[in-house]
Amino acid sequence: MAGQNYSMVTEFILVGFSNFPRHLLPTFFLLYLLMYLFTLLGNLLIMATVWSERSLHTPMYLFLCALSISEILFTVAVTPRMLVDMLSTHRTITWAACASQMFFSFTFGFTHSFLLMIMGYDRYVGICHPLRYNVLMSNRSCAHLVSWTWAGGSVMGMMVTLIVFHLTFCGSNVIHHFVCHVLSLLKLACGNENSSVTLAVILVCVSALMGCLFLIVLSYVFIVAAILRIPSAEGRHKTFSTCVSHLTVVIVHYGFASIIYLKPKGPHSMDSNTLMATTYTVFTPFLSPIIFSLRNKELKNAIKKSFQRKFSPLSS
């Protein structure tokens, strides 16, 4: 870098939706705002229901509450900035704010993945080792597991953020994304170590996510084997029904992530890439409370009961 004049970047410009036709932006804004509000309200409703219903004070619903918290925090870290920039002409973000957004989005995103893995383990213990469930999934054990997921998410968020932001950013400061996306940021870094840093970030993220997915799949291999040993069809259906909501969220979570990050390189426009990115950052958190509320019979009944208690005195 000696002998070359570089202007160090102190702020970035988020391109986001700025290339979209102006008349479409209010529509996108309203759509994503409604999805954002529904995500917050849906997860808060799940948390309030679990808190108020003593029958739901079990490890599975403790993990579900922790998952709802991680989804709320991930959404708050990403979506409000996207919504503001959608209707603004001033789309700059400072170096520190960009680093903070990356840290929090990675922390809550990885915490979400770790919690899905722990929920898979909970179902494995409940179905494959029911007699040892109360010992293996005691209140203390569950608190430790939740603490470790949040600690692990924080470590991953800090690690990725430090790897990226120890680089020097110079020249262009335009990020072709609506958030401080790690791969988009790495393209702006100057120096000869970009390729090695990019590889390191990809290896760290992929190893953690694929490790979680592997353990979830392994849990369900044992779960399916245990279910197939149940003699009655009704018993098999009843047992598997306790896993449906979690399994659906796992498929949605990893399915949308695969569509975005594993899509073949080709002549994709910036606009299509932006819309595809919102499927993971906005649409997946939006779907999660819907899936758990509709596919989990116990939670759905508890929500109905909670609403009936609140509104039946008014109607009478």
DSSP string, 30-76: HHHHHHHHHHHHHHHHHHHHHHH-GGG-SHHHHHHHHHHHHHHHHHH
Question: Strand locations in 108-236, DSSP E?
Answer: 168-169, 174-175, 189-190
Tens-digit pLDDT profile for residues 116-133 = 999 999 999 999 999 999
Structure tokens at 210: 């694929």
Q: What is the mean pLDDT of the chain?
A: 86
One-letter amino acid of 50: V
Coil, strand, or helix at residue 92?
A: strand
Give every CB contact of residue 22 below 8 A, 6+ residues apart in sequence: none
**Ramachandran region of residue 16, left (φ > 0), alpha (ψ -120 to 50) or beta?**
left
Q: What is the pLDDT of residue 313?
A: 56
The b/e string for 290-308 (b: 16+ C-beta within 10 A; e otherwise) is ebbbebbebbeebbeeeee
Q: What is the pLDDT of residue 1?
A: 44
Structure tokens at 134: 């109360």
Q: How many residues are present in the chain?
A: 316
Mean pLDDT confidence for 172-199: 84
The rounded distance, in Å, linking the Cα atoms of 178 and 316 is 49
Residue 37, pLDDT > 90, answer yes
Burial class (CB in 10 A: 0-12, 13-18, 19+), 164: buried
The rounded distance, in Å, linking the Cα atoms of 280 and 286 is 10
Using 50, 70 and 90 to split pLDDT, how confident is the model at 292? confident
Mean pLDDT confidence for 296-307: 80
Residue 316, pLDDT > 50, answer no
Backbone angles phi, psi at 196, to 5 degrees: -70, -40
- Nearest in space to 249 (alpha carbons), one of 205, 188, 296: 296
The rounded distance, in Å, linking the Cα atoms of 51 and 38 is 20
Domains of the chain by start residue, with CATH: 11-263+272-291 (1.20.1070.10)
Tens-digit pLDDT profile for residues 153-166 = 999 999 999 998 88
Q: What is the pLDDT of residue 81?
A: 92
Tens-digit pLDDT profile for residues 224-268 = 999 999 888 888 888 888 888 899 999 998 888 877 766 655 545
* pLDDT-above-70 percentage for the chain: 91
Helix/strand/coil percent split, the chain, to 5: 75, 5, 20
* pLDDT-above-90 percentage for the chain: 45
CB-CB neighbours of 217 under 10 Å: 12
